[in-house]
């Protein structure tokens, strides 16, 4: 049995794909979210909430038609790669190609340079010198799936992580999710998408929460008990009364998505990553 053939992919293809996806993500929000907002604009009970949702839908229609960013905060670009283990990158550095793609997309798409080089602000650096965040998963095969998300920081700032203990269990997870959404209120730009990551280590929980918030909102967790928990958490979050933009109403969140991973017998890490109503994500496969 011979080794599987290695597939060469030039990093310039990745660069161009990242650039294109970044622009498209900022001009067109995902169809599942737009559909959910249209649906919410009908079922929301609060009049000011309905009017707000109608304006959001109108904003997305204008952005798509005029090809302009849906929001001035075109976000911190998060690039998630699922790289087939039989892929061999040629033509340069993978990381440089992704950064270059983000720079190109930001420039050609008239997106805002929203990144500061020094998070401490002790150095006087201009924006745009470290343009994105990269997550890499190795998977079987010879294909590459690229997901580009533009993560706005109104919602990102209201996210939270907590290390519970096993005895805390599902009641603690439930309380933590509700408290996080309640504290975020209007600041996270509701109606929001709630991504919950449970398990692994400290950083696994955060990454799971990111993957959860970026999962399409019409896809439920495949485990029936977790699917039920998603529905239960969504109902409870929507009982908070925050409503669209915190102006009061029933539609505070469009979905609660949960992702899990095995963890230590002594632990229960839980992360809650919030996404605004324009949770921008788009994928392509090479």
Residues that bind another protein (CB under 8 A): 46-48, 51-52, 55-56, 58-60, 62-63, 66, 68-74, 110-114, 126-127, 152, 154, 157, 185-187, 189, 236, 239-243, 245-250, 276-278
Q: Select 204 or 279, whichever has its Cβ closest to another protein.
A: 279
Q: Residue 175 contacts by C-beta under 8 Å, 6 or more apart in sequence?
A: none
Q: How far is the CB of 255 from another protein (least distance, A)?
A: 17
Residues making up the chain, counted from first to last: 286
Of the pair 197, 246, the CB lying nearest another protein is at 246
d(CA 286, CA 279): 23
DSSP state of 4: P
Q: Find the shortest distance in angstroms from Cβ 185 to another protein.
A: 5
As a dihedral over the C-alpha atoms of residue 215, residue 282, residue 275, residue 74, rounded to 10 degrees, the angle is 170
Is the Cα torsion angle 87, 88, 94, 98 positive or negative in sign?
negative
Instruction: Output 50 or 215, the one with its CB closest to another protein.
Output: 50
What secondary structure letter does DSSP report for 161? E
Distance CA 21, CA 188 (A): 24
| Euclidean distance between the first and the last CA atom of the chain, given in angstroms as a whole number | 27
Q: How far is the CB of 59 from another protein (least distance, A)?
A: 4
Which CB sits closer to another protein, 17 or 278? Answer: 278
CA atoms within 13 A on the CB side of 186: 8
What's the closest the beta carbon of residue 240 comes to another protein, in angstroms? 6
CB 242 within 8 A of CB 190: yes
Which CB sits closer to another protein, 150 or 204?
A: 150
Give least dist CB 119 to another protein, A: 13
Element (H, E) at 104: helix 94-108
C-alpha to C-alpha distance for 190 and 177, rounded to whole angstroms: 15
Computed on alpha carbons and rounded to an integer, the radius of gyration of the chain in Å comes to: 20
Q: How far is the CB of 139 from another protein (least distance, A)?
A: 33
| Residues ≥6 apart with Cβ < 8 Å to 61 | none
* Tokens 């993978």 sit on residue: 94
* Cβ nearer to another protein, comparing 88 with 121: 121
Least Å distance, CB 112 to another protein, is 4
User: Which lies closer to another protein via its Cβ, residue 80 or residue 237?
Assistant: 237
CB closer to another protein, 178 vs 286: 178
CB of 72 to another protein, least distance (A): 4
């Amino acid at each position: 049995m011979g080794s599987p053939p290695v597939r060469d992919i030039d990093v310039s293809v990745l660069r161009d794909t990242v650039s294109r996806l970044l622009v498209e993500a900022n001009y067109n929000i995902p169809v599942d979210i737009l559909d959910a907002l249209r649906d919410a604009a009908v079922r929301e009970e609060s009049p000011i909430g309905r009017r707000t949702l109608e304006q959001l839908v109108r904003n997305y229609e204008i952005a798509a038609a005029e090809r302009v960013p849906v929001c001035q905060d075109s976000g911190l670009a998060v690039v998630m790669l699922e790289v087939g283990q039989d892929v061999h990158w040629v033509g340069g550095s993978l990381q440089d190609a992704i950064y270059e793609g983000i720079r190109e997309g930001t420039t050609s798409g008239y997106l805002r340079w929203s990144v500061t080089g020094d998070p401490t602000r002790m150095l006087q650096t201009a924006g745009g010198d470290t343009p994105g965040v990269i997550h890499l998963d190795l998977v079987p095969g010879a294909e590459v799936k690229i997901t580009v998300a533009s993560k706005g920081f109104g919602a990102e700032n209201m996210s939270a992580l907590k290390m519970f203990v096993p005895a805390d269990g599902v009641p603690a997870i439930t309380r933590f999710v509700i408290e996080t959404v309640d504290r975020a209120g209007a600041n996270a730009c509701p109606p929001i998408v709630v991504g919950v990551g449970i398990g692994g280590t400290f950083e696994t929980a955060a990454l799971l929460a990111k993957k959860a918030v970026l999962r399409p909102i019409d896809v439920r967790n495949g485990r029936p008990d977790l699917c039920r928990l998603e529905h239960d958490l969504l109902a409870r979050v929507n009982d908070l009364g925050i409503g669209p933009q915190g102006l009061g109403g029933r539609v505070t969140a469009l979905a609660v998505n949960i992702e899990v991973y095995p963890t230590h017998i002594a632990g229960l890490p839980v992360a809650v990553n919030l996404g605004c109503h324009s949770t921008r994500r788009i994928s392509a496969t090479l």
